Structure 1
Amino acid sequence: MTVYAIIGGTGLTQLEGLSIRQSLAVDTPYGSPSAEVQIGEYAGKEVLFLARHGHPHRFPPHKVNYRANLWALKQAGAEAIIAVNAVGGIHPAMGTGHFCVPHQIVDYTSGREHTFFADDLEHVTHIDFSFPYSESLRQQLIAALAAEGCEYSDQGVYACTQGPRLETVAEIVRLERDGCDIVGMTGMPEAALARELDLDYACLSLVVNPAAGKTTAVITMAEIEQALHDGMGKVKSTLARVLAS
């Protein structure tokens, strides 16, 4: 039986309904993870949970210790990871409250510790990252979203920007020209690190705001927080369906 881990993003610093059996403070060669790894039962299955930004939410996207987080989950026994991400919508279909299960990603970040293959190497290691997400895990998420009656897209290109600021209108124009459908700040290097550790990995993205220039209104944190509040129930029920399948 596959051991699943859930990485909770903004709006999901706790997995309500998780019956916690153990909280592990995992030591890693890369420093401390964002939070303890919680191990417990959710939807009748054992699951691991880690708050990407810590609990309380205190690590901005560019300061998350992605290497420690992924290493800690692997050490705790994770075999597959579902990453929950709050994103902005670029493609017209990606309205607030819409879900996307991306199939591709473009990395626009800089300066992040992005690989385990960096120091004291006996040989150089390259991973195949042509298809960054596990297709079988993507299909599980898609089936769960459909069963829940959610509005969703079964594919999309995730643009990962540096943050913590939101993007300019000109930057969103560029991302759209590059073929990106949604924009977030935490998709990389998380996906690549999971691949380096041979972990299945897929992303459940919730659109919480239109990207810059996609609306005439000013993007406010209050609106983003409301969208997170409104969407988290569907996120949790979707996760429960995947675990129960």
Structure 2
Amino acid sequence: MYYSADIGVIGGSGLYELSEDVKKIEVDTPYGKPSDDISLVKVGAKTVAFLPRHGREHTINPSEINYRANIYALKSLGVKAIISPCCVGSLRFDIKPGDFVVTDQFINMTSGRKDTFFEKPKVNHISSAHPYDQKLRVLAMESAKECGITAHFGGTVVVINGPRFSTVAESRMFAMMGADVVNMTQYPEGYLCLEQEIPVVNIALTTDYDAGLEDHPDIKPVTNEDVLRVLKENETKVKALIFKLIDKLEV
């Protein structure tokens, strides 16, 4: 049977839990299996394909995610846009836990990840100067405002391998490099969307201050418990923003 979807969402669990009318499908790709089954959900007149990037039980480390299979699977369903929510640590005092960031740039500090579809004999070089779609970013900010959510328009996310958090020295270095937030999954996820010509937007929820901040000794390094707590506190906001954005998309 042939399945299709209008919009793809890659993120944590939650989207398919909002509706009882969910169709879960397995998708095979030339690059192996994606992180999990894809859940097809009707949102108004649109069909949304939801894929949990770490697997439904959060069993896949950031460096072990099959990013190519995930993006290819959504491409095979015909999605016209991908929404990529994630959690980030802040490198700036004014980007506070609970704030959202609609990023516009990334810095890749990962290694060893399969990060291109262009392998021999098909080698191609494309620009990644502006990796996130401007139209989607504007709509995401409009959605945040309408939901009463504090969001920052623009920001550079530095992407590390994980699963460990940064050292103090690394966190300091990332800030000196011009990064605003730190994450473990936006590369190569966002870039692979470019190669497949799928507009993508990253909506980042700030959960912590990474390894702490210079000149703020009262701000302690992040713990996994901190991340889970802030994520739980903002789960409703994440879902509201995503659904508001889906409503605005014309696909």
Bin of the TM-score, shorter chain as denominator length: over 0.9
Pick the aligned partner of 1:224 from 213, 224, 227.
Answer: 227
- Other-structure match for 2:14: 14
Report the 3-state secondary structure (helix = DSSP H, G, I; strand = E; otherwise coil) of the residue aligned with 2:203. strand
Q: Which whole-Å CA distance do the structure 2 matches of 1:117 and 1:30 have between them?
A: 12
Aligned pairs for 1:1-245 within 5 A: 3-8=6-11, 12-15=12-15, 16-42=17-43, 45-119=46-120, 121-122=121-122, 124-214=123-213, 216-245=219-248
Residue pair 1:20, 1:38 contacting (<8 A) in 2 also = no
The 1:160/1:79 distance shift into structure 2, 3 A limit, reads same
State how far apart, in whole Å, the 2-side matches of 1:223 and 1:87 are: 12
Residue segments in structure 2 that go unaligned for 5+ positions in a row: none
Question: Aligned partners of 1:106, 1:65: CA distance in 2, in Å?
Answer: 20
Aligned residue pairs, count: 239
In the aligned structure 2, how far is the partner of 1:216 from the partner of 1:242? 33
Contact 2:14/2:239, CA 8 A, preserved across alignment: no
Q: Is the 8 A contact 1:23 1:39 kept in 2?
A: yes
Give 1:22 deviation, angstroms. Answer: 2.1
- Distance apart, 1:19 and its partner CA: 4.4
Could you tell me how far apart the structure 2 residues matched to 1:19 and 1:239 are? Answer: 18
- For the aligned residue pairs, the C-alpha RMSD in angstroms reads 1.4
5+ residue gaps, structure 1: none
- Measured against aligned partners, the alpha-carbon deviations of 1:109-153 in whole angstroms (never above 9, x if no partner) come to 00000000123x14x201111100000111111100011111110
Which stretch shifts more, 20-29 or 128-137? 20-29
C-alpha displacement of 1:244: 1.4
**1:30-86 CA distance string (max 9 Å, x none):** 111001111121355321100000011100100000000000011112110000110
Structure 1 segments of 4+ aligned residues over 4 angstroms from their partners: none
